[in-house]
Amino acid sequence: MTAAPEHAPTMAKMSLADRLAPWMPLLLVPALCILGFLAIPNTGSWLTLTVAGLAMGMMIFIMASGLTLVFGLMDVINFGHGAFVSVGAFVGISVILALSHMAEAPSLMLNLIALLVAVIGAMLATGVMGWAFEKVIVEPVYGFHLKQILVTMGGLIVVEQLIIVLWGPEEIYISRPEMLKGAITFAGAALEKYRLVAVGIGLLVFAAMRLVLRHTKIGLIVRAGVQNGEMVQALGYRLRLVFIGVFIAGSALAGLGGVMWGLYQEVITAHMGNQAMILIFIVVIIGGLGSVEGCFIGALLVGLTQNYVAFLEPKLALISNIGLMVAILMWRPMGMIPVVKAK
């Protein structure tokens, strides 16, 4: 065989617009903040609202991230995801109530320990529950979206009812740990301490997730699996096990989100997960199903939009998120960061 001419690869130069396109969604968050700044006359209120919006967004992100990965990896859509939010909230809040001497003590250390124990308890409970849910409810309906939607919805009903059996039908009012009550004043804005903590935890979770997804082999397998699960298996990785792991992690994160959400609202009900699902769905749709980054950006957008609009025109707050979803889907029908599937 004759020698082939040397293959000299070149990359076609992309136009500025093409190169910017992937970053566009990321720019939306500051853009929305600026828009809010222009619309809201008082800088202090704007700052308060921005922090509130970011806090809310972070919590939604924590709740939604598992759902989007589970979908990306195995094409499983879990309408019962909200059940983990509710269970997480009930378990976590029960722990905080049981540790009330620590939660009510005027010591930040004790407060944080109580919170940490509550979070660990909630995540353990929802993680185990996620494992059971995957085995019993989801596994038999792999590959059938219609049945998935139906049985996971059924699972949600059953779990909600079981919560009522165990904790009673009444809503439970709670107060935040002592040192997380109240607000600090910064640049003329009252910033609720709890919201700042929520923003911190959200950033931490996002950073940890990115670290795992970008820099560990498991993360590589998950990202590759989202694109082409078949090939991941053909390389020798047991995707099924990875998927169960992701499902459990996603459920535990939803549980964490549940505790945070419960403390944020200062009241928990068996249906709170189902209510949160509305925002979660909006977030994963506009983010692009399967994309963690998209989910993060989407969650922040939803949180900010809701808080700004609630301030400017309270009655429109709820449909503002629907409006946001419509606008984004008109721009990118598959969501902001669409996941390219092989096949």
Partner 1 sequence: MINSLLSGDLPRSKLLALLLGAIVICLALAPFLFPGVRTVDTAARICIFIVLVASYDLLLGYGGIVSFAHTMFFGVGAYGVALASTHMGRGFDAIAVGAASGAIIAALLALVIGLFSLRVRAIFFAMITLAVASAVAVLVSQMSGLTGGEDGLTFKLPRELGPAFKFGKETFDGTLFGVKLNGKLLAYYFVFLGALILFLGMLRVVNSPFGRVLQALRENDFRAEAIGYRVVYYRVAATCLSAAVAALAGSLYAVWLRYVGPDTTLSMEIMIDILLMVVIGGMGTMYGAIIGATLFVLAQNYLQNLMGAASGLVEGIPILPELLSADRWLLWLGVLFILSVYFFPTGVVGRLRQQS
Partner 2 sequence: MSEPILKLEDVYTNIAQYHILQGVNLEVPAGAVTMLLGRNGVGKTTTLRTIIGHWRAHRGRILLDGEDITTLPTPSIARAGVGFVPEDMGIFSDLTVEENMVLAAVSGKLDSARLDWIFQAFPPLKTFWKSEAGTLSGGQKQMLSIARAMAEERRLYLIDEPTKGLAPAIVSTMARALRDLKNQGASVLLVEQNFAVAKALGDSANVMDDGRMIWSGEMAELATDAALQERLMGLSMEAH
| 340 binds partner 1, rule: CB under 8 A | no
Q: What is the DSSP letter of 235?
A: T
Of residues 109 and 342, the one with the C-beta less far from partner 2: 342
| 233 binds partner 2, rule: CB under 8 A | yes
Structure tokens at 340: 């390219």
Contact between 72 and 250 (Cβ < 8 Å): no
Sign (positive or negative) of CA dihedral 82, 285, 279, 96: positive
Least distance in angstroms from the C-beta of 222 to partner 2: 11
Of residues 221 and 328, the one with the C-beta less far from partner 2: 221
Cα 228 to the chain's mean position, in Å?
23
CA–CA dist 82, 258 (Å, integer): 9
Selected from 13, 101, 217, 315, the binder of partner 2 by CB under 8 A is: 217
CA–CA dist 202, 219 (Å, integer): 19
| 285 binds partner 1, rule: CB under 8 A | yes
Least distance in angstroms from the C-beta of 61 to partner 1: 17
Q: What is the DSSP letter of 323?
A: H
Of residues 38 and 234, the one with the C-beta less far from partner 2: 234
**Nearest by Cα to 156 from 128, 137, 140, 135:** 137
239 binds, among partner 1, partner 2, none (CB under 5 to 8 A by kind): partner 2
CA–CA dist 45, 66 (Å, integer): 33
Grouping H, G, I as helix, E, B as strand and the rest as coil, residue 183 is strand
Selected from 118, 299, 325, 339, the binder of partner 1 by CB under 8 A is: 325
Of residues 115 and 309, the one with the C-beta less far from partner 1: 309
| 274 binds partner 1, rule: CB under 8 A | yes
Structure tokens at 66: 């598992």
CA–CA dist 337, 2 (Å, integer): 45
Least distance in angstroms from the C-beta of 288 to partner 1: 11
CA–CA dist 302, 117 (Å, integer): 29
CB atoms within 10 A of CB 172: 17
Q: For tokens 């740990």, name the residue.
A: 177
Q: Where are the alpha helices (DSSP H) in the chain?
A: 16-20, 24-39, 43-74, 81-98, 100-103, 108-133, 145-167, 193-215, 217-234, 239-265, 272-287, 292-312, 317-331
Q: How many residues belong to the site for partner 1 (CB under 8 A)?
A: 40
Contacting range for partner 1; rule: CB under 8 A; set: 31-39, 95-103, 220-228, 282-290: 282-290
Structure tokens at 134: 């995957």
| 50 binds partner 1, rule: CB under 8 A | no
Selected from 24, 105, 162, 203, the binder of partner 1 by CB under 8 A is: 162
| 143 binds partner 2, rule: CB under 8 A | no
| 275 binds partner 2, rule: CB under 8 A | no
CA–CA dist 85, 252 (Å, integer): 9
CA–CA dist 28, 31 (Å, integer): 5
Grouping H, G, I as helix, E, B as strand and the rest as coil, residue 191 is strand
Of residues 3 and 330, the one with the C-beta less far from partner 2: 3
Contact between 52 and 307 (Cβ < 8 Å): yes
| 235 binds partner 2, rule: CB under 8 A | yes
Of residues 6 and 170, the one with the C-beta less far from partner 2: 6
Of residues 196 and 329, the one with the C-beta less far from partner 1: 329
Contacting range for partner 1; rule: CB under 8 A; set: 107-115, 150-158, 171-179, 223-231: 150-158
Scan residues 237-266 and list those touching partner 2 (CB under 8 A). Answer: 237-239
Name the site residues for partner 1 (rule: CB under 8 A). 77, 79, 137, 140-141, 145-147, 149-151, 153-155, 157-158, 161-162, 164-165, 169, 274-275, 277-278, 281-282, 284-285, 289, 315, 318-319, 321-322, 325-326, 329, 333-334
Name the site residues for partner 2 (rule: CB under 8 A). 1-7, 9, 11, 217, 220-221, 223-224, 226-228, 230-239, 339-340, 342-343
